[in-house]
Structure 1
Amino acid sequence: MTEQTEKMIEDDNQITLTLRDGSKHVINKGEHLIELAKKLEKDNELPYLCARVNNDIYALDYAPEHDCNIEFLDYRSPYGCDCYKRSLSFVLARAILELYRNARLTIDHSIGNGYYYDLFTDVPVSERTLNYIKTKMDEIINKNESFGKKTLSRSEAIALFNKEGYPEKARLLKNLNTDKVGVVSCWKYIDLDFGVMVPSTGYLKTFDLKQYAQGFVLLFPDSKDPSIASQPRRQPKIFQAYRESKAWGKILEVNNVGRLNEIIKDGSVSDFIKTAEALHSKKIQAIADQISSHPSIRIVLIAGPSSSGKTTFSKRLCTTLKVNGLRPVALSLDNYFLDRQYTPRDENGDYDFESIYALDLPLFNTHLSELLEGKVAQIPEFDFHTGRRRDETMPMRINDDQIIIIEGIHGLNDELTSSVPANNKFKIYISALTQLVIDDYNRIGTTDTRLIRRTVRDSKYRGYSAEETINRWASVRRGEEHNIFPFQECADTVFNSAVPYEWAILRPVAEPLFLDIQPESPCYYQARQILRLLSFFTPLAPKEVPPTSILREFIGGSSFQY
């Protein structure tokens, strides 16, 4: 064998990995990423949890087959954080299985930087119980056991989950349109494969368990200092909205995706949709009654994150207030933007239109005071093409039976309406607080619901691709974290705009949009994760969705004018 031939064989057995900083590392074909990760993490503050390979996310046991671009991810990365949370949630479920063979653990929703769980056992949840569970989790973590993954046929997976006592997982798989199912295991606990896991349990040393209401919260590492667990955050109003949603689930007799798929298959979904929409109407009526019963309330402020359905909710609330004898009138914050030259800029030097200081707060508060005093206010008109206020104004005056409706991201921030006494204001927080879980151990995040809503709406009404919407999403989320979420608990009431059937309606519309995103796109992994979640839902035609539904704001066919 010649030296040149030997060199060619050697090259065929080696792979070049290009890191984000441009440095190159050569590994042997078949070598797992974890070996290089352990070498490189000596210079990193935190251990690496997973890796971005080109535009996909892989576990560190992945062995690349070709030259590729690599970025190792720790807890500070959104994908590393998700990987940690997914893996730690798995360890919790395994600990419960070891300690309480006949107990039922159910995940519910996020609260602060943690997940809320209910634990159904003969013994109520207490600090002693949680210390017992935490000790078992520490034991599992200290064993540093690996997570095993394998692919089964759908029938094999259904039989396995039924045998192991997880009928809700088996039920979920019955309607899955695929022949292959990924499962993950550690010790005797098995679950469906919902994404990348950390290499072994030893990576999950930072967490805590805290009692909350009748259940408890699994707390993840602090986002600013991942070496310590987050502190529990009390959110009584948001929590009450979640509890209300869970109660609705019992009324509707649908509490997970598998059960929803069953009623779609058996044809009873029409009544289910009608009942879900009636519950929305009942809640809106209760809010309208609350407002009407306090004559001092003259201003209603509605705020919530992107794609929460604020506009449709506002219109439905106005209709219901009219039934109660009030005459609502809208006041648009868009007309109170400062001229472009006075707009504040963000840390990148770009105009920050989402800042509360992009609004003319003194003028806005002057006009609110004038309106509440029965005076005529000269409302400005803002021209978004020129970035300036027009010379013309619109005179506005309200009567005693009229109430001002203001919709905007800053509605819960008292700085927006500093001139208005508290007893004259009623603040509503609205968001799509998803109530359906995939199964007892796996949830769907509110962020995922809102992203799908926005993607469908952007495609239908703005001509944006799913890739364009996802590219903007990180910026949207940063604005929400700064301008909306800190003020959630300032609301007088919370409205959950999610309807439990919406993913089934959204699937046939959203699926092709996300399928358009190719492996070359930086959004590829995020699109695949959304598609994975959508695949669990049986598609449903929108013919039963009423024209006044909040969902119509995104899929079209609303009877409201926007």
Structure 2
Amino acid sequence: MKIKLNGEIKEISEPCRICELFDNKDHKYMAARVNNRLRELNYILPSDCDIELLDLTNSSVTRIYQATLRYVTAMAVKNIYPKARIHFNYSVSRSIFATVSGLGHAFLDKNFKEIKEEIERIIKEDYPISRHSLSIPEAEEYYKSIGAMDKVKILKYRKEKTVHVYECNGYKNYMFGYMLPSTGYLTQYRLKLYAPGFIMQYPRSECKGQIPEFKDEQVFRSALKEANIWANTAKSESIAQMNEIVESGKALEFINVCEARHNRQLSQLGHKIQENIDQIRLICVAGPSSSGKTTFTNRVRIELKSRGIEPLMISMDNFYNPIEMAPKDEYGNPDLEHIEALDLELFDDVIFRLIQGEEVALPTYDFKTRTRIFSEPIKIGHHQPILIEGIHGLNDRIAPSIPDDQKFKIYIAPLGQYKIDDHNPISISDIRLIRRMVRDHQFRGTGCEKTLATWASVRNGEFKWIYPYQNNADFVFNSELSYELCVLKTYAVPLLEEVPSDSPNFITANRLLKFLKYFEVITDKWIPCNSLIREFIGNSIFYTEDTK
């Protein structure tokens, strides 16, 4: 067999595992791309192939690392407290939040220390982690025997006849993803007691394989807590629960309940602004890509109009500098997500003069010609707030001449706290990526591959320009609609299936396909015309030309 390993040709006499081809004592490499497919280091090479070894600077590897850390943590809990259950959710500061139930009492510092010590012991022992295939009936029987009914329920929606199970020193579990070869690979992690459970931090690819500093984001944490309460209330915290709603014929009710929650949040927001309208002059909306900012901002405008408040909407996109003035990214290309890509002085001047009661000509930026034109001068009333939307809306550098107490800042993002099962939370960023992929195809003429290819750059911009300021928000709007992946599946799956196997984006496309296949389909015909999800699938009342 002829193997090309990181560009070097090797010849081997018989099939072997990837990890047997090189010295990896320092555990630098944790997975591999084999003929453009993501593979574990324990993967047995069947024929000639091209191998690229991957480390923690690769996002697929950090997912594997995180899955293995969750596996070892669940194993530790099982070893110490056989009747307890551990639950994982994504949380603040790019971490995993773990809670333990079934202890017979509240989670205590003593329990945390015992779990931490057991995790350390398991890692120190460097137990091998092996993968086995079970038939669906065998997996069902095993999970029932250990009381893991959350895993039993999701097996019903698995299309394949088999399921993979990972075994480590007698412990068996499946984390819906690949794993590291052994527990000893987990050399970097941090555990922090964080009531009512604990926080797990792990290396991140956007931090070049390092663990980011933990920042306790109180505003964001409160929103996640509310999202978790909502998921329990709506009985939609897992894919199996959502699918059961669809199968029971209650999909329409499910849609209406989720939409009612958005309406309630908008009402709460409108009330909060109305209470302080004598003071508020600038309402700023910001959030990461595909959060639904445009539809949301329109709905805020309608909500405020219903309260007798007539905001002036201004898009920050109209304040871009000429493209030749934009800062450059690491590849030398114009970085339009950089705050200095905007004409900050012009924006501040326009907002200040409007608030002072002057007549002001507003700019409109033509993205085709890269030029700016100005409207006829307009004037606003003394109690008329300005409503702006843009990724930099929470940044302190926006409109510095307006005092902070005259600004009302809103952070919007889908903060879904649902999961595949107790041990496998669903990534919030994956929800946004699927939204963006569908929207780009529907309305921007952008193919799935291009969306996938640019996602890493989009995410880097978010970490730089959005997340550091989310704690400045006066209000967090959770734009997640629990039913949405059941709807988006119909749009997304065909796009993902078209990504060729030799594409650099095939690994991501394949991962998303495996994830989406578990959802039952909900038709989009029942979705209200003003729903935020219409921004991505079409037929939104805010984007129609028929205004009569």
| TM-score of the alignment, normalized to the shorter chain, above 0.5 | yes
Contact 1:16–1:67 under 8 Å retained in 2: yes
Q: Distance in 2 between matches of 1:335 and 1:471?
A: 26
- Alignment counterpart, residue 397 of structure 2, candidates 386, 402, 415: 415
Give the distance between the partners of 1:548 and 1:518, measured in 2 at CA.
36
Match of 2:91? 110
Which of 36, 42, 55 matches 2:21? Answer: 36
1:89 corresponds to: 70
Matched position secondary structure for 1:112:
helix
Matching residue of 1:326: 309
Q: Deviations over 1:436-478 (max 9, x none)?
A: 1111110111110001001111111122221111011111111
**Change in 2 beyond 3 A, CA 1:85/1:365:** same
Alignment partner, residue 77 of structure 1: 58
> After alignment, is 377-386 or 49-58 more displaced?
377-386
CA distance in 1, matches of 2:62, 2:340: 32
Alpha-carbon distance, 1:386 to partner: 2.3
Higher deviation after alignment, 141-150 or 318-327:
141-150
**CA distance in structure 2 between the aligned counterparts of 1:186 and 1:386, rounded to whole angstroms:** 60
Shift of 1:375: 0.8
Local SS of the residue matching 1:547: coil
Tell me the residue number matched to 1:142: 124
Match of 2:360 in 1: 377
1:463 maps to which residue? 445
**Matched residue SS, 1:546:** coil
Aligned counterpart, 2:234? 252
Give, in angstroms, the shift of residue 435 of structure 1: 1.8
Structure 2: how far apart are the matches of 1:393 and 1:194?
Answer: 54
CA drift of 1:274 comes to: 1.0
**SS of match in other structure, 1:460:** helix
Residues 279 and 225 of structure 1, relative CA distance in 2, 3 Å threshold: closer
Establish whether residue 315 from structure 1 lines up as the match of residue 298 from structure 2. yes
Q: Is the 8 A contact 2:206 2:460 kept in 1?
A: no
Q: CA deviation at 1:159?
A: 2.2
Equivalent residue in structure 2 for 1:299, among 264, 267, 282: 282
Corresponding residue for residue 100 of structure 1: 81
Contact 2:27–2:185, Cα closer than 8 Å, also in 1: no
- What is the RMSD of the two structures over their aligned residues, measured on CA atoms? 1.9
Matched with 1:9 is none
In 2, distance between residues paired with 1:225 and 1:535?
31
Residues 339 and 548 (structure 1), Cα distance of their counterparts in 2 relative to 1, 3 Å cut: same
User: CA, structure 1 residues 142+322, in 2 after alignment: closer, same or farther (shift >3 Å)?
Assistant: same
CA contact (8 A) 1:256 1:439 kept: yes
The alpha-carbon distance between structure 1 residues 317 and 229, as it changes in their structure 2 partners (threshold 3 A), is closer
- 1:333/1:222 Cα in 2 relative to 1: closer, same or farther (>3 Å)? closer
Once the 2 structures are TM-superposed, how far is the Cα of residue 225 of structure 1 from its aligned partner?
8.3
Cross-structure match for 1:25: 10
Task: Describe the SS at the equivalent of 1:378.
Answer: coil
Relative distance call for 1:352 and 1:84 in structure 2 (3 A) is same
Residue 534 of structure 1 and its aligned partner are, at CA, apart by 0.5
| Partners of 1:395 and 1:226 in 2: CA distance | 49
Q: Distance in 1 between matches of 2:201 and 2:323?
A: 43
Deviations 1:105-137 (A, max 9, x none): 111223223201121222433333222111101
Aligned with 2:317: secondary structure? helix
Q: 1:387 aligns with which of 367, 370, 377?
A: 370
Aligned to 1:108, the other structure's residue is in SS state strand
Partner residue, 2:336: 353
Q: 2:260 aligns with which of 278, 283, 292?
A: 278
Amino acid at match of 2:48: D
| Of 334-343 and 47-56, the range deviating more from structure 2 | 334-343
TM-superposed CA distance for 1:156, in Å, is 2.4
> Following superposition, which runs of at least 4 residues in structure 1 exceed 4 angstroms of deviation?
222-231
Contact 2:530–2:540 (Cα < 8 Å) also in 1: yes
Q: Number of paired residues?
A: 542
| Counterpart among 395, 398, 406 of residue 424 in structure 1 | 406
1:189 to 1:231, Cα distance in 2 relative to 1, 3 A: farther
Is residue 42 of structure 2 the alignment partner of residue 61 of structure 1? yes
Q: What TM-score do you get using the length of structure 1 for normalisation?
A: 0.92
Question: Is the alpha carbon distance of 1:524 and 1:189 closer, same or farther for their aligned partners in structure 2, counting shifts above 3 Å?
Answer: same
After superposition, what is the alpha-carbon deviation per residue over 1:13-70, rounded to whole angstroms, capped at 9, x for unaligned?
Answer: x222241xx32222333111102232xx47xx75211111121110111122232221
Q: Please give the secondary structure, in 2, of the residue aligned with 1:211.
A: strand
Deviation of the 1:227 alpha carbon: 9.2
1:346 CA displacement? 2.0
Q: Structure 1: how far apart are the matches of 2:492 and 2:231? A: 25
SS in 1 for 2:12: strand
Q: Is the 8 A contact 2:71 2:175 kept in 1?
A: no
Structure-2 separation of matches of 1:223 and 1:173: 31
> 1:395 is paired with a residue of what secondary structure?
coil
What amino acid does structure 2 have at the position aligned with 1:493?
Answer: F
Q: Deviations over 1:277-314 (max 9, x none)?
A: 11111011101111111020111100111100011111
User: For 1:370 and 1:230, how far apart are their aligned partners in 2?
Assistant: 41
Maintained 8 Å contact 2:280/2:405? yes
Q: Secondary structure at the match of 1:28?
A: coil
Other structure's SS at 2:542 match = coil
User: 1:452 pairs with 434, 437, 440, which one?
Assistant: 434
How far, CA to CA, are the matches of 1:227 and 1:561 in structure 2? 42
* 2:321 paired residue number: 338
- Maintained 8 Å contact 1:343/1:353: yes
Structure 1: stretches of 5+ with no match in the other structure: 1-13
Distance (whole Å) between structure 1 residues aligned to residue 13 and residue 281 of structure 2: 71
> Which of 483, 500, 504 is matched with 2:465 structurally?
483
Q: Is the contact made by 1:17 and 1:27 (CA closer than 8 Å) also made in structure 2?
A: no
Contact (CA 8 Å) 1:127, 1:210: kept in 2 or not? no
Seen in structure 2, the aligned counterparts of structure 1 residues 172 and 86 have a Cα distance that, compared at 3 Å, is same
| Structure 2 residue 216 is the aligned partner of structure 1 residue 234 | yes
Aligned-partner Cα distance in 1 for 2:22–2:177: 19
Which deviates further from its counterpart, 60-69 or 243-252?
Answer: 60-69
Give the aligned partner of residue 7 of structure 1.
none
What secondary structure, in the 3-state scheme, does the structure 1 residue paired with 2:377 have? Answer: strand
Q: Distance in 2 between matches of 1:225 and 1:373?
A: 44
1:173 to 146, 155, 163: 155
Q: How far apart are residue 232 of structure 1 and its match? A: 3.1
Q: Higher mean Cα deviation, 323-332 or 85-94?
A: 323-332
